Structure 1
């Protein structure tokens, strides 16, 4: 194979050309003459053994023909001299008076040698350019064929994917089934005046199966299927992209009925005029040619274009209009039923334990795409093989879900007892607040084992698929996010940096509630700010904040009030159920991981908080001028001035005294002896 490739490439011809030039030049160089020292040459002239002599002017060389061999160098020798020796050499030759005579010669280069010497550099440069261009275009067989399409034709030898291998996207499968019927029997649709769709755009988040759908169409259609990526059109040479588009559509029309699939079409289909200068660059020229080809299809050409993208919002409007992409099919993340089917598809060929319930696994993976679910089963199978087992069980599936959600477990990251307690209280605060709130999803797992970049995590999963979120649910999410930070404040009086990500997420949710969701009466149902698009694109660089500094100050105030209210609510819950929090922490320190059933036992005494007229402010909630119940924290921070009397503050401190780190309150039913095992040193609050 390598020999065949070598003979077909330009390297062999370059080597042959150089060899021919070398042989040709050598043939005109004449007979080879041995070179001797200048002193030996003068001695030969003075010794009378020279039969003939020739002085070559310009080269300062003397060629001698001898009557006998000289030191086994033959009878033809030559020597060179420097310019000051010229007179002496001429006198020596004249004195020797060779029998054959002597003469002088001015050398003249052969016209063929001159031509070869002049052309050789150009031949070498052209050969190197030929070789480099052939490597850039994928082989010597494609030299200088820049404008040819790089699309791959799916052959019968390609592993076939059918619609049976696709699950969770039934609507998209139905749309593409119809495309297959169009190609199989176009007369049936043309008889009633229906036109075959020219293009189908598949869009959705990464991993939902857009490319898999296109491969299934290729396996089902039974027609030529050309597959190409959007980035394959654009090269370093101007006009190559447009030429490849023309060549691709020409091939497809010659082999109609056919299907063209362009993956990641946003690489060439971006909005025109969005560059830094808004100019007509190579990508736009490629897009223009694609628009012309799609609009120039013959109605009966039986060529359909299928494209996939993750970002339909940045595509050019001319590309999306009817007549080009007639159908736009959304490929969303699957629902519970779809996730179950996807798990069934990917579990084929994997030995699953009899007690494995794929429906239960699907319930634990809301929001997962098809690629995520395939990764879960693959990770479970890898773990099974790594541990020497033969069957994939529930433990492997549980660990695989955790790996996909939070990353691999950090077994080498060892925490001391104090850090474990802080982590346990932090995660326990999240879990307890979530369990006590009415509008939060069930807590399914709590762990203090380091995984990924987290020292521990609390998993809250919805019981069913949800497609919208209410205001109360968002408020409960804020309180749940602040639960870990509040637990650290209550128990240790010294919060750590572990809540930074919680604060970041809570602030983002609160700001969206104020600026996007219209959940603040001070701001009203107004969308503030523009969605950040392509930062480096010319059409978006002029868009900034579209509201005044005064409104921005109000937004900041409302966001702060939302976060403070969530903090207060978490504070009330954790103080009210402090004994439950301590018991939960004891269980976490002993078991390190608690599942949903084990958490239900700990949270048996926790009652969901009744729906209250929770307040944010008289303007934002629109309920009353004052909150129905003011907490101690709220009274202490009203209008930014502390208003709690000193005696009342002291009474509150006596009601909830600062306990040593990890110590159980006196009224807690938890066995204190269990704490002695965990904390024999009895670390005290450093404050």
Structure 2
């Protein structure tokens, strides 16, 4: 009400000022002062009215006029009286009390209105519970039990995670079952997993199964530029939740507010730390919050404050990992329910050919396949569309309109053939899935590898084989163009190979000279007490030189090995180059023919048979030549980069 009253007062004042400024008196003729004096002396003026410096009056013929007195004229009255002009004086207009009050308070009202508008914008437009009077109110969105339609049937590929949270549903449905035996349900559940694995979806499914209210908020919604606002929002959120108990509070990306306190330059952010302190108190303080379960999601559990993870707060961690082949098949079937499918579509075959895909990736795959079918004016989505969608996601969209010279295409064909041949010959390397010289994304050519089975680690031999295959493209260019003719296309390959080699030496303990010891050049800010690690010291200059020397030895050894392999298979390099120039894209069957010394068979259209790897799947690795045009962007999965 107060806000509307102020708004109408401002509008009325503006209209009054506009009316006063544009108000006019009849259609009076305007004279200059000299013309006015001439008319008076000639006897043409009958009557005048003087109001300040404004002179208005009537001519002898009845016309009205108006003029302005430019300066004080002590002879004006004598001139008017001598020419028998009737002179009338006018009192100055006296403003009323309310008019004076309004004009005096108008600037303050305008400033107040601007301030209120500014505060509304900071609160997101004043919708819902926002506004200048609700600055410290919670931004959590409440979904009632009738609004949540998600159930465990809509969540696939994370059976272990669902088993961990099913007892939360039972507690919310029947708390007495556990309380009779003195048991307490976990107050907080932390869902940990890579982006797109279904953490938020699983939290919604818990609320949908339990049929309880669901509060949803992001960790970044707590933190503001003003100290104390975040803590106020935390208190308000729990106050709302107590009124709706039993209920669920879901905090997405909790690492935005739950980072370890006292780390970083300057000791951290006061506002964020106060918000975190309030969250810790609300979750396990003197007040009892029975019936409120807090579920949080993050993909950075290593940066969270240890006080958040102690028993009584987030005392249960649910890992929502990437799905295996069986999980991917289940996820595909969930997303395929809304898509009309052709008879040749086989979810298990697609699952085998999509290792390393998260739930979000698989949803995107189904959507892209549907879009391809719509562009082709088909009534159903076929296996061919799924194959195209998979290639687009793994290797990027085709750029068929890009014009390349024959020389550039030939050089690209040599480069990609070098990757494929070395990757095929070295041990413990993922099989070659497809090689293409069609530009995709920012790459002029792509060599794609897919694993055959689930893999959670990689051996020393496998790491060296990956480095060898990364150098295969650069070596093929040297063999065909000479050392002075190599291009910048291998810049990304060199970057990835160097990263492999540095982790080989400093992180994975595979160097014979340096041994099984962790060497780190990065400042360690994360909490290491729970893992028993401890703070790492900085490297000495001598150790840094030894690390650089070992990294160079690993790279040089792999480079020589890949060179020997390509030189001994020069005929296959030429055959694969010719096949790529003819077909532009070759698959694993054609690569088998080339490696066997046979002329590659023509490419065949998708016929429903499995062209991808068989058996259980694992995180995908792809060798992309992303720097053919000088771009050094890192692309492709690195299965051992974080181990």
Alignment partners' CA distance in 2, 1:16 and 1:106: 24
Deviations 1:294-349 (A, max 9, x none): 12375562001111122222222222222111112121111122112111211222
Q: How far did 1:516 drift?
A: 0.8
Contact in 2 for aligned 1:266/1:311 (Cα 8 Å): yes
Closer/same/farther in 2, CA of residues 426 and 317 from structure 1, 3 Å limit: same
Closer/same/farther in 2, CA of residues 547 and 258 from structure 1, 3 Å limit: same
| Counterpart residue number, 1:174 | 163
Alignment partners' CA distance in 1, 2:131 and 2:413: 66
Contact in 1 for aligned 2:283/2:289 (Cα 8 Å): no
Q: Alignment partner of 2:117: what SS?
A: helix
Alignment partners' CA distance in 2, 1:342 and 1:186: 32
Contact in 2 for aligned 1:195/1:299 (Cα 8 Å): no
State which of 581, 587, 596 in structure 2 corresponds to 1:589.
581
- Unmatched tracts of structure 2, length 5 or more: 527-534, 599-643
Contact in 1 for aligned 2:524/2:536 (Cα 8 Å): no
| Counterpart residue number, 2:329 | 340
Contact in 2 for aligned 1:336/1:464 (Cα 8 Å): no
- Unmatched tracts of structure 1, length 5 or more: 536-542, 607-687
Alignment partners' CA distance in 2, 1:310 and 1:546: 27
Matched, 1:469 2:465: no
Q: How far did 1:130 drift?
A: 2.7
Aligned length: 581
Q: How far did 1:200 drift?
A: 1.0
Q: Alignment partner of 1:438: what SS?
A: coil
Alignment of 1:14-29 (within 5 A): 14-19=10-15
Contact in 1 for aligned 2:422/2:565 (Cα 8 Å): yes
Deviations 1:129-182 (A, max 9, x none): 333433443337743221222211113564621111111111221222221111
State which of 104, 108, 116 in structure 2 corresponds to 1:122.
108
Q: Alignment partner of 1:347: what SS?
A: helix
Closer/same/farther in 2, CA of residues 420 and 19 from structure 1, 3 Å limit: closer
Matched, 1:551 2:543: yes
| Counterpart residue number, 2:76 | 89
Alignment partners' CA distance in 2, 1:409 and 1:258: 48
Q: How far did 1:583 drift?
A: 2.6
Alignment partners' CA distance in 2, 1:309 and 1:427: 38
| Counterpart residue number, 2:395 | 406
Alignment partners' CA distance in 1, 2:209 and 2:424: 49
State which of 491, 504, 524 in structure 2 corresponds to 1:500.
491
Q: Alignment partner of 2:190: what SS?
A: strand
Q: Alignment partner of 2:596: what SS?
A: helix
Alignment partners' CA distance in 1, 2:174 and 2:193: 29
Q: Which moved more, 1:140-149 or 1:343-352?
A: 140-149
| Counterpart residue number, 1:443 | 432
| Counterpart residue number, 1:622 | none
Alignment partners' CA distance in 1, 2:450 and 2:99: 85
Alignment of 1:104-183 (within 5 A): 111-137=97-123, 138-139=125-126, 142-144=130-132, 145-155=134-144, 158=147, 160-183=149-172
Contact in 2 for aligned 1:10/1:131 (Cα 8 Å): no
Alignment of 1:387-406 (within 5 A): 387-406=376-395
Closer/same/farther in 2, CA of residues 13 and 338 from structure 1, 3 Å limit: farther
Closer/same/farther in 2, CA of residues 44 and 185 from structure 1, 3 Å limit: same
Alignment of 1:236-385 (within 5 A): 236-274=225-263, 276-278=265-267, 281-296=270-285, 298-299=287-288, 301-385=290-374
TM-score of the two chains, using structure 1 as the length reference: 0.77
State which of 570, 573, 580 in structure 2 corresponds to 1:578.
570
| Counterpart residue number, 1:512 | 503
Contact in 1 for aligned 2:418/2:476 (Cα 8 Å): yes
Q: Which moved more, 1:197-206 or 1:576-585?
A: 576-585
Closer/same/farther in 2, CA of residues 134 and 426 from structure 1, 3 Å limit: closer
Q: Which moved more, 1:121-130 or 1:383-392?
A: 121-130
Deviations 1:269-312 (A, max 9, x none): 22223454326532222222222211237556200111112222
Q: How far did 1:35 drift?
A: 7.9
Q: How far did 1:9 drift?
A: 9.2
Q: How far did 1:422 drift?
A: 2.2
Alignment partners' CA distance in 1, 2:88 and 2:443: 98
Contact in 1 for aligned 2:13/2:102 (Cα 8 Å): no
Contact in 2 for aligned 1:48/1:96 (Cα 8 Å): no
Closer/same/farther in 2, CA of residues 566 and 31 from structure 1, 3 Å limit: closer
Closer/same/farther in 2, CA of residues 562 and 71 from structure 1, 3 Å limit: same
Task: Point out which structure has higher relative CO (alpha carbons under 8 A, 6+ apart).
Answer: 2
Q: How far did 1:248 drift?
A: 0.9
Q: Alignment partner of 1:130: what SS?
A: helix
* Structure of higher CA gyration radius: 1
